[in-house]
């Protein structure tokens, strides 16, 4: 976790993500890449006329001013931060920054119940969470001290989730957290205790996972089960697998990832299958 990307619109929510990134950077000797997508008005982005140049320069200068103010903030003291201005869609800018800078983790800020779309226009952030090849950590609130010692990783325990589980293990080990694997037993996908235990034991067999627990939680829905289990166990972080265009594996379907981010009062991290 030596290179962390933080997309920012310089809002308080983006600052919350940046503060967490700074804490992690100090603990793990990491670098932060701070990305701001210009999102200039369409007539400037598509215009080739020199008449629009002064207005475009205004937006660039404004972004540079925000960068300058941000880099002076005390929580970034002694943290290497590289600033980048993107000129395309947010999703494209993030993908390019990840590729060119060998980014290992994306940390993004989110608003409250209205979720990602308040901060990032359209479905770009949803695309990032759903399709990113690297982990995406979503921060909703301010965390003066971002310490994770109890990490819930919810999964359907299918074989295709083993790769994302390996990434979750690496993250848990990096931050020094116990990883609590969770299967939510719902009426629609009910399993007996013996069936669930065998499924979970088969899943972790040969994985060399350390400092973990296996858990089955009964609830009416997957989302409620994850949130209630996390609350009851005083977890500081919830992790899930993402499954490209199909959303979240067989265990997660529809908009469960976005719902989790909107409803959880704790950070959520996603890992690509």
Virtual CA dihedral for 8, 13, 17, 19, nearest 10 degrees? 110
* Burial class of 80 by CB neighbour count within 10 A (0 to 12, 13 to 18, 19+): exposed
pTM of the model: 0.87
CB atoms within 10 A of CB 42: 8
Would you state the pLDDT for residue 124?
A: 55
Would you state the pLDDT for residue 53?
A: 61
DSSP state of 136: E
Mean pLDDT of the residues in the chain: 84
pLDDT-derived band at 37 (thresholds 50, 70, 90) equals: confident
Q: For residues 210 and 194, is the Cβ–Cβ distance under 8 A?
A: no
Query: At residue 33, does pLDDT exceed 90?
Result: yes
If one compares 159 and 23, the residue with the highest pLDDT of the two is 23
9-13, 58-62, 71-75, 130-134: range with highest mean pLDDT? 71-75
Would you state the pLDDT for residue 254?
A: 40
Nearest to 171 by CA among 84, 106, 116: 106
Q: 67: number of CA atoms within 13 Å, CB side?
A: 20
C-alpha 245/C-alpha 2 separation (Å) is 28
Nearest to 257 by CA among 139, 129, 165, 136: 129
Question: 6: which 2 tokens?
Answer: 């933080």
C-alpha 215/C-alpha 201 separation (Å) is 11
How do strand 268-272 and strand 136-139 relate by DSSP bridges?
A: antiparallel
**SS3 at position 228:** helix
112-146 residue pLDDT tens: 544 444 444 334 566 677 778 899 998 988 999 99
Would you state the pLDDT for residue 86?
A: 85
Q: For residues 222 and 256, is the Cβ–Cβ distance under 8 A?
A: yes
Query: At residue 51, does pLDDT exceed 50?
Result: no
159-213 residue pLDDT tens: 888 999 999 999 999 999 999 999 999 998 899 999 999 999 999 998 989 999 9
Nearest to 184 by CA among 244, 129, 116, 260: 260
């Amino acid at each position: 976790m030596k290179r962390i990307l933080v997309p920012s619109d310089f809002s308080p929510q983006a600052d919350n993500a940046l503060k967490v990134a700074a804490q992690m950077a100090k603990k793990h000797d990491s670098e932060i890449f701070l990305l701001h997508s210009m999102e200039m008005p369409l007539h400037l982005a598509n215009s080739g006329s020199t008449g629009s140049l002064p207005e475009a320069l205004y937006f660039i200068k404004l972004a540079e001013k925000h960068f300058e103010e941000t880099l002076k903030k005390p929580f970034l003291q002694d943290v290497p931060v590289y600033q980048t201005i993107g000129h395309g869609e947010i999703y494209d800018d993030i993908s390019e920054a990840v590729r060119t800078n060998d980014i290992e983790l994306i940390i993004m800020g989110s608003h409250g119940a209205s979720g990602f779309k308040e901060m990032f226009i359209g479905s770009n952030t949803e695309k990032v969470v759903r399709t990113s090849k690297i982990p995406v950590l979503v921060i909703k609130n301010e965390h003066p001290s971002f310490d994770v010692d109890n990490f819930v990783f919810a999964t359907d325990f299918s074989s295709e989730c083993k790769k994302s589980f390996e990434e979750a293990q690496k993250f848990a080990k990096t931050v020094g957290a116990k990883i609590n694997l969770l299967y939510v037993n719902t009426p629609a996908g009910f399993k007996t205790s013996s069936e669930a235990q065998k499924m979970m034991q088969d899943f972790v067999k040969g994985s060399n996972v350390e400092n973990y627990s296996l858990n089955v939680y009964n609830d009416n829905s997957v989302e409620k089960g994850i949130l209630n289990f996390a609350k009851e166990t005083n977890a500081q972080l919830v992790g899930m697998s993402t499954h490209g265009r199909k959303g979240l594996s067989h265990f997660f379907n529809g908009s469960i990832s976005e719902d989790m981010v909107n409803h959880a009062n704790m950070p959520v991290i996603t890992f690509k299958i």
